[in-house]
Amino acid sequence: MKTNVLKIHPDDSVLVALSDLEPGEQVLNNGTYLPVTEAIPAKHKLTINELAPGDPITMYGVLVGKAKQPIQAGGRLTTFNVQHATNSYDLGSETSTWKAPAIDKWQNQTFMGYHRSDGRVGTANYWLVIPLVFCENRNIQVLKEALVTDLGYGQQRTWQKQTHELMALVQAGRTVEEVLQADLQGADQLAGGKQRLFPNVDGVKFLSHEGGCGGTRQDAQALCGLLAGYITHPNVAGATVLSLGCQNAQAAMLQEEIQKRSPNFDKPLFMLEQQAIGTEEALLGQALRQTFAGLMQANTQVRQPAPLSKLVIGLECGGSDGFSGISANPAVGHASDLVVALGGTVILSEFPELCGVEQELCDRCVDTETASRFRELMSTYALRAKEAGSGFDMNPSPGNIRDGLITDAMKSAGAAKKGGTAPIVDVLDYPELVTKPGLNLLCTPGNDVESTTAEVASGATVVLFTTGLGTPTGNPIAPVIKISSNTALARRMPDIIDINTGSVIDGDETIQQAGERMLEQIISVASGQVEVAAVRHGQDDFIPWKRGVSL
């Protein structure tokens, strides 16, 4: 018999509604029935005991808020009767032990990847075209128009048919109402587009941005570090870089950041300075010639077997809901533990969404130095948010709140489940490179695109991205596997969802089974055997974090 509520941790003071609950309905909690006192939508929480103002509210075994008003037992938690609250934390005990999951099934398994001279292995093979400053964005767009379609990397769907249908309606004198009610044909599916000239190159990607000049010198340094992370990335064969010449983000600064990450860097890299070359025609002509030369070199590389220890997995969430922390995120956490047990690397980011679980994470750090760096980065970030008139408590979005995540601590306690249970081997500041196998923490905003952009710059070759509300987020060079927390979303937005873990909520699968299924998908995606939705749609989201307050 399927239950209609869930108590996540034995110490919790709330239950999660797994389906809509009506006033007067009885729900079972620890062998006794609790009457529901008001309508409670699925994904929202009801309190087990009567609460007075100031009483603590516990979920996932940690403090996630305090009552602002009296709340009846069986009553719904809302932003009106609950306020954000977390416990203080220290550096941890360094005494925790980890029981790794069984990995016999995958111990000798490999994936087919691109081996680079620095020992890293990519899951794709891209060429990058990058501006060092926003002044070059137009030239980047010109190169994109010149290269993408004719080289066979154009989009596979076109909506021009609908545009032509609507034009015909307007020309025929139809009313606004008739246009709004028009039944349009579906998008055209182009038959594979043009054949690729370079079949071993997955694409040419263009990383436009709004940085490189203005702002502070630290902004320019961070941008160059981020771009260097992409240029040296194992999913990248080489790059063409356009510089204006006078901007803060100088070519020498980019070279310096490349050397930090790859002292023996040997990929094709072409840097062109417009002010030195002269005319736009000369600049673009030279860029095209050099890019073609680079693509010829990139095309000589082929996939070869690699151990699963070479996987580097980014963990991300966006558009979270009240089920994310009990289905998708824990399933990702189990997959994460499997990757770590196999000798691979995992990156957990979004520091504003680790608020409230700091003690658990400190306890999991391998030494005091690592825990201390986490506490320093976390407290500095929180302080900057307060100085800007905000705070981590303002992190949940309207969509999060509408679907049951009413405090940042509640959201964070569920989001942290993506990191599984493995020890934390390192804590990185943006935009540092990951160097240690195991679970790493990376300081980034909670903004899903900024965070995904940063995880990939740090070395993630595949990203696991959970969502309860639905988001199309992708990345230019790393496949982003989109994971639904609930079956309704997977059915409503099947074009962007790759894996459904709503099966856990439905009672058809365990967290462990979903995590194992996820690992199999990771291997297939990393081998180029499965194309994820974000890649299929050309969802190339790229937003550098300008080191200010972004939640």
Read off the amino acid at residue 423.
P
Model confidence band, residue 157 (pLDDT cutoffs 50, 70, 90): low
To the nearest whole percent, how much of the chain has pLDDT over 90?
78
pLDDT of residue 546: 85
Cα 142 to chain centroid distance, Å, stands at 29
pLDDT of residue 158: 65
The answer, yes or no, to whether residue 193 has pLDDT greater than 60, is no
DSSP string, 113-125: EEE-TTS-EES--
pLDDT of residue 393: 63
pLDDT of residue 189: 56
pLDDT of residue 388: 75
Model confidence band, residue 191 (pLDDT cutoffs 50, 70, 90): very low
CB 343 within 8 A of CB 71: no
Cα 183 to chain centroid distance, Å, stands at 36
CB 258 within 8 A of CB 221: no
Residue closest to 29 by CA, chosen among 73, 67, 61:
73
387 Cβ contact list (under 8 Å, min separation 6) = none
The Cα 480–Cα 473 span in angstroms is: 8
- Mean pLDDT, all residues of the chain: 92
User: What secondary structure letter does DSSP report for 22?
Assistant: -
List the structure tokens of 62.
């940690």
Mean pLDDT check: name the lowest of 2-16, 259-273, 333-347: 2-16
542 Cβ contact list (under 8 Å, min separation 6) = 207, 208, 209, 449, 453, 475, 476
Cα 141 to chain centroid distance, Å, stands at 26
The Cα 253–Cα 257 span in angstroms is: 6
CB 194 within 8 A of CB 152: yes
The Cα 175–Cα 158 span in angstroms is: 26
CB 309 within 8 A of CB 119: no
List the structure tokens of 299.
């095309």
Give alpha helix (H) positions in 155-299: 160-171, 176-180, 217-231, 251-261, 274-277, 280-298
pLDDT of residue 549: 60
List the structure tokens of 294.
């680079």
**φ, ψ dihedrals at 536, nearest 5°:** -60, -35
The Cα 371–Cα 421 span in angstroms is: 16
The answer, yes or no, to whether residue 250 has pLDDT greater than 90, is yes
For the stretch 477-506, pLDDT in tens is: 999 999 999 999 999 999 999 999 999 999
The Cα 143–Cα 284 span in angstroms is: 7
Residue closest to 109 by CA, chosen among 528, 531, 522, 532:
522
The Cα 92–Cα 204 span in angstroms is: 46
Model confidence band, residue 204 (pLDDT cutoffs 50, 70, 90): very high
What 3 state SS string does 119-166 have?
CCEECCCEEEEEECCHHHHHHHHHHHHHHCCCCCCCCCEECHHHHHHH
Residue closest to 347 by CA, chosen among 234, 456, 506:
456
List the structure tokens of 200.
């071993």
To the nearest whole percent, how much of the chain has pLDDT over 70?
95
